[in-house]
Structure 1
Amino acid sequence: MSIVVAGAGIGGLTTALSLHAAGVTDVTVLEAAAAFRPLGVGLNILPNAVRELDEIGLLDELSKASVPTGSLGYYNRHGQLIWHEPRGRAAGYRWPQLSIHRGRLQAVLADAVRERLGPDTIVADSRVAGFEELPDGRVRVQVRHTAAGGASHTDADALIGADGIRSAVRAALHPAEGPPPWNGLVVWRGTTWAPPFLDGHTMIIAGDDRRRAVVYPMSDPRPEDGAVLLNWAVARAARPGETIEAADWNRSVQPDEFLGDFADLDFDWLDVPALIRTSDEAFIYPMVDRDPLPRWTHGPVTLLGDAAHAMYPMGSNGATQSIMDARVLARELALGSDPRAALAGYEAARLTPLTELHKSTRRRGPEVVIDLAHQRAPEGFRTVQEVFPGTELRDISEDFARLGGFDPDLVNHRASLGVPAGARTEALA
């Protein structure tokens, strides 16, 4: 069985590694960039996805490049704690939650792909230009080589579109869709070396119903000064008439351009403006997603990760759900003799729950507690119980965990998504 994966991001690389682990080794990963370069800022991998990376033998390497997230705290714009919960192993999971620079995660995955599937598995300067279904049910993938000039094609049993929010594969399937819709929020992100805050393993989200700041550590302290690499992101509602260029995380801006909008988010335990001010660089991005699709799979072609279900960054589900997609897809392909049926089975398992999760992120997901706190007590509160009676906060958190498939009992006790040794041979017999 031959598989072409479009996109060498988190989802595409995990797909290649998962296929290899399941016994499918004829895999090519096409990357549109002229040179493979790990990019981005920080992200969190939830325990359900960390379990999957552990099962393909990457946890030790990833642990060297990340820090375990021990807790998550939501705060109002005055720095008052709304809700705090343990995360990862501290919450009873058998696997940690990891905070990591996206570039480091991508590098670990890419190195493993080259080592396990061969150095030529990832092919740069190769953007999908189109595809057609062949009479035998396979797919012919047209590839454009922009930097080198020219084009080529390759035939495969299946094409997996894991090429991000601006997916060329999705665009070919839905040519009238247009650009990703913007929800009116502007996001700035960056990284800064700074002293640890709180216990050194906490992720915080603070603000009100118009502004938000997210900060978490991604490294152990440096020996020379004790500083850690902090990921930060701040967002605010766009002003009337304010427009943002097309979604592109590579567009850098000077911190002075937006620092004033968040100048008051200076708390006793964390100075957010100082993090922004001392950042080496900052990137601007409109908060966009993709409208849910009624189907991802068309014969021998399917979508995965952001290409299938790009969501707002609420609840740390971007990379996590791409990894989960990859594992389910690889299992379906490895255990079936008909790739088209396998792609349909993958869609049947993933589309409905991801569509529901997507809807939740458009309602702010678990971060809605910050909106509610501001609406109910804009000047702050004496005790949070005055604002959130009973179990409301816990219910919001637990409901989102169930929706995202990372409830501790489910993660710890569900069956493995890995393919047992010999199972692929038996399926093909």
Structure 2
Amino acid sequence: MNKNHEPSTGSPQDKGQDGSLNRRVLIAGGGIGGLTLALSLHQLGIPSTVFEAATEVGELGVGINILPHSARALMSLGLLGELDDIAIRTRELRYVNHLGQQIWASACGLWGGHDTAQLSIHRGRLHRVLWRAAQARLPADGLRKGHRLQDFTQGSYGVTARFTLADGTEVEERGDVLVGADGIHSALRALLHPADGGIRWQGSQLWRGAVDWPVFEGGDVMLIAADQMAKLTVYPIAEGRSAGTRLTNWVMNGKVATGELPPPRRENWSRPGKLEEVLPFAKRLQLPFLDVEALIRATPQFFEYPECDRDPLSWWSRGRVTLLGDAAHPMYPTGSNGSAQAILDARCLARLLSELAPEAALSAYEAERLPKTAEVVRNNRRGGPERVLDLVAERAPNGFNRLEDVITSAELADIVGGYARLTGLTNPR
């Protein structure tokens, strides 16, 4: 590691007499994790500045789930009501095989006994709410677009981060702490771990889209259906434009390679999808209550990208610098936990920065969050709670007469319930 990236050798007066940080927290990345951190720090009286690489911030992405544990965190920031107005409260999660035969069903959110709802929402609309809240609460220069992190140095004085602006100009910013919340292609992760093994791809491609579609299964069910080659996740994320419809999010997962090849180049992520590539997978799923092929054909534009993650790191923090969210632990989007774990990271780090000196706070944050998220990454690679779909597809590729002849209730409870415990989603009551 470059000597300039080593931890500081001293920590003189890291905090003021009132316990507050002397300067501010520098946050590289204005996504869900970075904005949640900034808002959480503001709530605790700790100044921060968010540096977003993009020059324009729009409503990107498609559907996302705000699980009860992350919804609780957003509720504590006073945002849940606004999000609830533009989302769908998910009542039930169902796993079915390619013929629509039910394998598992569980009540979600308030219906499942949690003290907060589970919200299915457009990712861009969630981001918009967080961004606008940060605009309203942070100082006038608290959100800075067009700032791409290039490097940093640190010492007993704190951290100096160097950013490149859209016109090529370089600027330096000083703070007490630098947090990399800059996603799976994190610049800060690359600086901290130059020998990192890189992005991992096992050969699965994702196609994602959203379209107004007639209500099915009550209009508040999240459904995951699969056989041995294809998996569909589909759920409503907002009211539709006409009566009897919902803006319906769908994700098709299909195996297109063995995983021995490197992942597609970065510029091939989130590119427009092609019907001729996704429809062969859609046609494998014959659901009596949903015409999967028609749903995809009706979507004006959808996107494709590889299903990737990275190997868990042995450490996130050095001195006054750390990672958060996808920069720290990118994971397969199994179990709806990518954004949830970033939100939990942010709340944990903010709390510890309010209680401890910077280096101690980052060390405690890593000790609390790294082991948990590393296990989620590994579990998601094995299929997470959706592994029950893989087992049933393997054991009963043509469907079944009795589910208990294919998979036991104990197996189901162990896989699905174990994942809930692992991710912190167990019922708090």
Q: 2:44 aligns with which of 19, 22, 45?
A: 22
Matched letter for residue 235 of structure 2 = Y
CA gap of 1:390–1:63, structure 2 versus 1, over 3 A, is closer
Matched letter for residue 169 of structure 1 = L
CA distance in 2, matches of 1:250, 1:392: 36
Preserved contact between residue 38 and residue 48 of structure 2 (Cα < 8 Å): yes
Superposed CA offset, 1:31-57 (max 9, x none): 111112231111111100100100111
Preserved contact between residue 5 and residue 161 of structure 1 (Cα < 8 Å): yes
Does residue 158 (structure 1) correspond to residue 180 (structure 2)? The answer is no
Q: Determine helix, strand or coil for the equivalent of 2:27.
A: strand
1:411-422 to 2 correspondences below 5 Å:
412=429
Does residue 229 (structure 1) correspond to residue 275 (structure 2)? The answer is no
Greater displacement, 49-58 / 234-243: 234-243
Matched letter for residue 121 of structure 1 = G
Q: 1:55 aligns with which of 71, 76, 85?
A: 76
Q: 1:132 aligns with which of 143, 150, 153?
A: 153
Q: Which runs of 5+ in 2 are unaligned?
A: 1-20
Q: 2:236 aligns with which of 196, 212, 217?
A: 217
Superposed CA offset, 1:181-223 (max 9, x none): 111111111111100111211101111232110000001243x
1:94-243 to 2 correspondences below 5 Å:
94-134=115-155, 136-145=156-165, 147-177=166-196, 179-222=198-241, 224-239=242-257
Preserved contact between residue 29 and residue 180 of structure 2 (Cα < 8 Å): yes
Matched letter for residue 3 of structure 1 = V
Matched letter for residue 168 of structure 1 = A
CA distance in 1, matches of 2:173, 2:257: 47
TM-score for the superposition, normalised by structure 2: 0.91
CA distance in 1, matches of 2:40, 2:359: 18
Greater displacement, 61-70 / 233-242: 233-242
Does residue 375 (structure 1) correspond to residue 397 (structure 2)? The answer is no
TM-score for the superposition, normalised by structure 1: 0.91
Superposed CA offset, 1:142-196 (max 9, x none): 1011x22211000110001000000011011112325411111111111111001
Greater displacement, 116-125 / 240-249: 240-249
CA distance in 1, matches of 2:196, 2:388: 33
Preserved contact between residue 247 and residue 285 of structure 1 (Cα < 8 Å): no
Q: In angstroms, what is the RMSD of aligned CA positions?
A: 1.6
Deviation at 1:361, TM superposition (A): 0.5
Q: 1:351 aligns with which of 364, 370, 377?
A: 370
Preserved contact between residue 141 and residue 155 of structure 1 (Cα < 8 Å): yes
Greater displacement, 370-379 / 264-273: 264-273
Q: 1:255 aligns with which of 265, 272, 275?
A: 275
CA distance in 2, matches of 1:178, 1:276: 35
Preserved contact between residue 247 and residue 286 of structure 1 (Cα < 8 Å): no
Deviation at 1:247, TM superposition (A): 7.0
CA distance in 1, matches of 2:95, 2:153: 48
Preserved contact between residue 40 and residue 249 of structure 1 (Cα < 8 Å): no
Greater displacement, 366-375 / 243-252: 243-252
CA distance in 2, matches of 1:148, 1:130: 17
CA gap of 1:123–1:226, structure 2 versus 1, over 3 A, is same
Q: Determine helix, strand or coil for the equivalent of 1:133.
A: strand
Moved over 6 A (4+): 240-243
Matched letter for residue 15 of structure 1 = L
Q: Which runs of 5+ in 1 are unaligned?
A: 413-429
CA distance in 1, matches of 2:287, 2:401: 17
Preserved contact between residue 75 and residue 207 of structure 1 (Cα < 8 Å): yes
Deviation at 1:316, TM superposition (A): 0.5
CA distance in 2, matches of 1:138, 1:154: 11
CA distance in 2, matches of 1:119, 1:175: 35
Preserved contact between residue 334 and residue 384 of structure 2 (Cα < 8 Å): yes
Does residue 65 (structure 1) correspond to residue 99 (structure 2)? The answer is no
Preserved contact between residue 204 and residue 257 of structure 2 (Cα < 8 Å): no
Partner of 2:410: 391
Q: Determine helix, strand or coil for the equivalent of 1:120.
A: coil
Matched letter for residue 36 of structure 2 = T
Greater displacement, 44-53 / 350-359: 350-359
Q: Determine helix, strand or coil for the equivalent of 1:79.
A: coil
CA distance in 2, matches of 1:153, 1:345: 28
Deviation at 1:102, TM superposition (A): 0.6
Partner of 2:322: 302
Partner of 1:33: 54
Q: Determine helix, strand or coil for the equivalent of 2:266.
A: coil
Deviation at 1:315, TM superposition (A): 0.4
Total equivalences in the alignment:
405
Preserved contact between residue 62 and residue 105 of structure 1 (Cα < 8 Å): yes
Deviation at 1:239, TM superposition (A): 4.0
Q: 2:298 aligns with which of 278, 294, 301?
A: 278
Matched letter for residue 119 of structure 2 = L
CA gap of 1:124–1:99, structure 2 versus 1, over 3 A, is same
CA distance in 2, matches of 1:103, 1:21: 23
CA distance in 1, matches of 2:384, 2:92: 17
1:262-273 to 2 correspondences below 5 Å:
262-273=282-293
Preserved contact between residue 202 and residue 257 of structure 2 (Cα < 8 Å): no
1:57-96 to 2 correspondences below 5 Å:
57-96=78-117
Q: Determine helix, strand or coil for the equivalent of 2:252.
A: strand
